[in-house]
A and B are shown apart, each in its own frame.
Chain A
Amino acid sequence: MTTRRELLKAGTAGALALGFPAIVKAQSAAIKIGHLTPMTGFLGALGVYAVKGIQIAAEEINAAGGVMGRKLDVMSEDSVNPATASTKAQRMFEQDKVDVLMGEINSASAKTIMQVADRNKRLFMQIGARSDVLRGKDCNRYTFHVDIPVTVMVNAAGQALAREGYIKGKKIYFLTSDYLFGHDLAKAAKAFCAANGGTVVGDELTATDTTDFSPFLLKIRQAKPDLVATNLGGNQVTNFVKQYAEFGLPFQVAGFNLNTADAWAAGDGNLAGIWPTVWHHELDTPGSKAFVAKFRKIHGQPPENHAWIEYVSLKVMAQAMNETKSVDTEKLIKYFESGAQFDLLKKRNGYFRSWDHQMIQEAYPFSVKPKGQAKDKWDFLKFGAAVPAPDQPLESINPPKSANACVL
C-alpha cells in the first residue's frame, strides 16, 4: 500500500525531474527570430521562396549546434500589407519577445516595420525590399538592408543595355508600378537614361492589381519607342511579359526589376529582353553550388533569388551574434557597422556600408537563352557577368553619399 509520505516523495521527485530540465533549458533558450514576409497577394509567390530559404539556413545552423549553443527559432508569418506588417512587428517585439526582426519583400511594408523597429530601438534586418528611399530618406539606425536597392538594379541592367546600344540617343518608354517601389525604380531609371543620353518619351503608371496590359500595349505601339523599359513589381511583371509576347510588339523590351520566380512563371517562349538580378542559381561559386544542390534535393527545383537572400541573411545574422557573443541590438549594430565581411556565396564578399546600412555586393544582368538551348523549364535564363567588373570597387554601382539623403 502506498503511504501518504511515499506519495509526497514521488511527487517531489517528479516535480524536481520536471523542474530541472526547465531551468537547464532556460539557460540555453532558443534565440527568437521574428520573420515577416508577404505570403499572399501580388508578392506572395516570392515570399514562399523566402520562407523556404530561411528554413534551410535555420536547419543548417541548428544542426551545427546553433548560435552560442542556443538554437535559432524562426517564426515566419505573412505580413499581408503595410498596416498588418507593422502591427505584427510590434506584437513580435512585445508579446513574442523576439530578439531580432528579419524579412520583408514589399517596400511599403518594410517601411512600416522600420518605423516599429525605430520606435522600439530594436534591430530589423530588412532582407528583400528594394526601394531606394528605405536606405535613403527613410533610413534609420536600427535597420540594415540586404537586397540591392533599385539604383543598383537599374545600373546592372542599364549598363548591359547601354553596352548593347539601347540607351544612347534612343527613345525609351516606361511602364511603372504605381506604388513606392515602382516610383523609386522609375526615378532611378530616369536618372540613368538622362546620364547615358537616352530620352524617356513616356511613363505610364499602372495600379499594382493590373492584370490586363492591353490598353497600355496599344499606347506603346503608338509611341513607337526604341526600348520599352518596365518598372513593375511582382505578378505584374509576369502578366506584362506574357501579354507583350501575346501582342508580339516589335520593340526591344527590358526591365529594371524581375525576380527569377516571375521569369519562371512567364512560361515557355514568353520572356525576352535584358533584366537585372541580385543572385542566380547558376553562379559558379562553391557556396552557391552547395546551396543550390541542397535546395534542389529538398524542393526538387533550383532556388529562387529570394530563397538565396533569406538563406544568406540568416547566416549573416548568426555570424554577427557569434562574433559579438550577444543578441543585443547595440552590439549587433556596432558589428554590422564595423565593415565586417560576409560570405554571400558570390565571388566577392559583401559588407554593410556604415552610413546607410546597405549591404554592398555584386549584381548581375540577365537575358534569355535562344530557343532550344534550355535544359529544362528552370533553365531559359542566360546570366551575364557580375557588375561591377572585378577591377571596380563594389560601391561604384550604389548611390554615392552625395546622392543619398540618409542620415542615421
Chain B
Amino acid sequence: MQLLFLLEQVVNGLVLGGYYLLIALGLSLIFSVGGVVNLAHGAFYALGAYVSLEIARRLGFGAGVALSPVVVALLGIAFERFILRRFYTADPILSLLVTFGLALVAEQAIRIAWGAAPLPASMPQAFKGAVVLGDFLFSKYRLFLLAVVATVLAGIWLLLNKTAFGRVVRAGIQRPDMVAALGIRLQPYMTTIVMLGVGMAALGGALFAPIVIVHPAMGAEILTVAFVVVVIGGLGSFWGVVLAALLVGVVRGITTHFVPAASEASMYLLMFLVLMFRPRGLLGERIEKFE
C-alpha cells in the first residue's frame, strides 16, 4: 500500500513536471540560440495570465487560453526586435541586467494596470474535480494541461527536427558564423524562437491562472523554478529540459511524501547534486560559442 501511495506521488510529479516544462523550454531555447539568459521570461508568464483573464472576461475561458499567448507572443517580437537583438554578441552581464530590469518594469506595469491585489480566476465548472484511474487520482484540469503541454512539446520538437526552419536554428546554435557564411540571416529565426518561447510562457500563465494565485509577482516565482529546471537539464538541451522538468516534479512529490517540510527545498538539492557530478547539466551539450 505504501508503495502504491509513493507511485501516485511519482505520477503526480510527472504531471507537475509537465507544466514546469512550458516555461523552462522557452527559457532554454532563447538561451541556446541567442546566448541570452532571459530573466524577463517570468514577466511574460505573468502577462499571459493577466491577458488571458482580461480576454476570458469578455469571450470566455477557452478564448483566454488560446488568444493570450498570441497577444503576448506579438509583444515578444517587439521585445526581440528592439531590446534582445542588441545583446546577442555583447557581454552576457549586460543582457542579464537588461532582462532583469525589464522583469522589474513589467511587474510594476502589471501593478499599475491591474492593481496589486490578486485577481480572481477560476476554471470552467466542467474541468473541476478529479478522475480516479485504478488507484490513482488525477485532477481533470491537470490532465487537460498535460495534453496541451504534450501537444506543444511535440510541435516544437517537430519544428526543430523535421523542418528546414529547425535545421537552420540547430545549425545556428552550433555554428552561427558558418550559417552566416552560407548567406542565411539568423535574425528572423531568432525573432521566431523568442516569439515561440515567450508565447509558451504566456500559455503557461494562462493555463495556471485557475490554479495558482494571480498577482503581479507571479512571474518571479515561476522563473526560479524554470531556471532550476533548465540548469539541471543542461542549457540548450531539448530532452535535458524535458527530463529535468519531470525529475523536479517527481522529486518534489517523493519529498512531500516523506519530508513534507522540505518539499520546496528538494529541487535546489537536486540541482546541487546534479551540478556536482555534471556541471553542464544532465544532457547539456557542448556548445562551442559558449565555451
Interface residues of A (CB under 8 A from B): 39-41, 44-45, 48-49, 178, 204-207, 209-212, 214-216, 218-219, 221-222, 235, 238-239, 242-243, 245-249, 261, 264-270, 304, 377
Contact = CB atoms under 8 A, between A and B. Distances in A.
Contact of A215 (B116, B213, B217, B253): B253
A222 B123 CA distance: 25
A225 B126 CA distance: 26
A210 B263 contact: yes
Contact of A261 (B5, B117, B121, B125): B117
Given A212-B16, A212-B212, A246-B123, 5 more contacts: A40-B217, A178-B261, A205-B260, A218-B9, A377-B120
Nearest to B259: A205
Nearest to A241: B213
A46 to B, nearest CB: 9
Given A245-B128, A268-B122, A209 B117 contact: no
Interface string B182-210: 00000000000000000000000000001
Given A206-B263, A209-B221, A268-B120, A215 B212 contact: no
A247 B215 CA distance: 22
B41 interface: no
B48 to A, nearest CB: 16
A41 B215 CA distance: 10
Contact of B221 (A211, A216, A269): A211
Contacts of B256: 204, 215-216, 219
A246 B5 contact: no
Contacts of A214: 12, 15-16, 139, 142
Given A222-B5, A267-B210, A247 B122 contact: no
A207 B141 contact: no
A206 B117 contact: no
B120 A247 contact: no
Nearest to B141: A246
A51 B8 CA distance: 45
12 contacts: A41-B217, A44-B116, A45-B118, A215-B12, A218-B137, A222-B5, A235-B215, A242-B121, A242-B213, A247-B129, A248-B130, A304-B117
Q: How large is the interface on B (under 10, 10 to 19, 20 to 34, 35 or more residues)?
A: 35 or more
Majority DSSP secondary structure for residues of A touching B: helix
Contact of B119 (A178, A212, A246, A265): A265
Contacts of A204: 256, 260-261
A214 B127 CA distance: 16
Nearest to B222: A211
B9 A215 contact: yes
Nearest to B256: A215
Contacts of A245: 122, 128
A246 B124 CA distance: 10
Nearest to B254: A215
B53 to A, nearest CB: 10
Contacts of B212: 211-212, 239, 242-243
B214 interface: yes
A105 B21 CA distance: 35
Contact of B116 (A45, A211, A235): A45
